[in-house]
């Protein structure tokens, strides 16, 4: 379903940022910050070096479900400062009507260069991506999950008004070897009324 992002007229501007599709040529720019221990600690896949990272990046065109978030630097050049994943997926439906539940929601996720942290850029980008989910993509629900110990991530979800739907006790295995608590958040299109009409 990665081609769902083709339905959007890129690039998309938010107040301070520009959003576009992530491309193969962005592999190095994303590795530059995804390799940092404070970023790798929370993301799904880690790599030891760039070749290993590139393999993961390319596998099944994984990069193609990510939105690249760009900020103009002092010279007016766009800098890639983070990515927001949009994985369009099926909702759950009873068997006779399950076709009507196909491709109606998205799981979103993010990682940003900590050099640009604490300025609301990730918040702004995720809001922009949710606008796209409920606007041109026409989805009915957006979900996001994180380890409960990843406070910056769930604070972001709460800042933008996502609703906490679940707190699971020690259900998620961290690569540190411990089973950690997890949290899940969601939003319905009707809970995002003003922006989805924008």
Q: In what order do the strands lie in the sheet with 12-13?
A: 12-13, 18-21, 66-72, 78-89, 105-112, 141-147, 179-188, 163-173
Quick one: which of 11, 41, 36 has its CA closest to 113?
A: 36
Question: x/- binding map, residues 50-89, to ligand COA, per CB under 6 A?
Answer: ----------------------------------------
Select the residue whose beta carbon is closest to ligand COA and give its number. 120
* Segment interacting with ligand COA, rule: CB under 6 A, options 56-64, 87-95, 100-108, 116-124: 116-124
* Segment interacting with ligand COA, rule: CB under 6 A, options 4-12, 37-45, 85-93, 127-135: 37-45
Q: Judged by CB under 6 A, does residue 2 bind ligand COA?
A: no
Q: Which residue has the tokens 């260069």?
A: 113
Choice between 9 and 37, CB closer to ligand COA: 37
To ligand COA, the closest distance from the beta carbon of 198 in angstroms equals 18
Q: Judged by CB under 6 A, does residue 110 bind ligand COA?
A: yes
What's the rounded Cα separation, in Å, for the pair 61 and 158?
30
3-state secondary structure of 78: strand
Quick one: which of 13, 14, 128, 17 has its CA closest to 71?
A: 17
């Amino acid at each position: 379903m990665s081609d769902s992002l083709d339905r959007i007229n890129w690039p998309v501007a938010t107040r301070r940022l520009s959003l576009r599709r992530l491309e193969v040529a962005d592999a190095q720019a994303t590795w530059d910050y995804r390799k940092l221990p404070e970023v790798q600690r929370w993301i799904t896949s880690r790599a030891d070096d760039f070749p290993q990272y590139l393999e993961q990046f390319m596998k099944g065109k994984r990069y193609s479900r990510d939105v690249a978030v760009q900020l103009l630097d002092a010279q007016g050049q766009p800098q890639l400062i983070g990515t927001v994943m949009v994985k369009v997926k099926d909702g759950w439906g009873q068997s006779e009507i399950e076709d009507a539940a196909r491709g109606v929601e998205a799981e979103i996720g993010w990682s940003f260069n900590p050099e640009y942290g604490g300025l609301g850029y990730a918040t702004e980008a995720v809001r922009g991506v949710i606008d796209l989910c409920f606007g041109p993509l026409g989805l009915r629900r957006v979900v996001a999950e994180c380890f409960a110990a990843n406070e910056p991530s769930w604070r972001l979800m709460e800042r933008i008004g996502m609703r906490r739907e679940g707190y699971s006790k020690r259900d998620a295995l961290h690569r540190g070897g411990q089973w950690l608590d997890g949290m899940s958040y969601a939003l319905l299109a009707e809970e995002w009324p003003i922006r989805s009409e924008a």
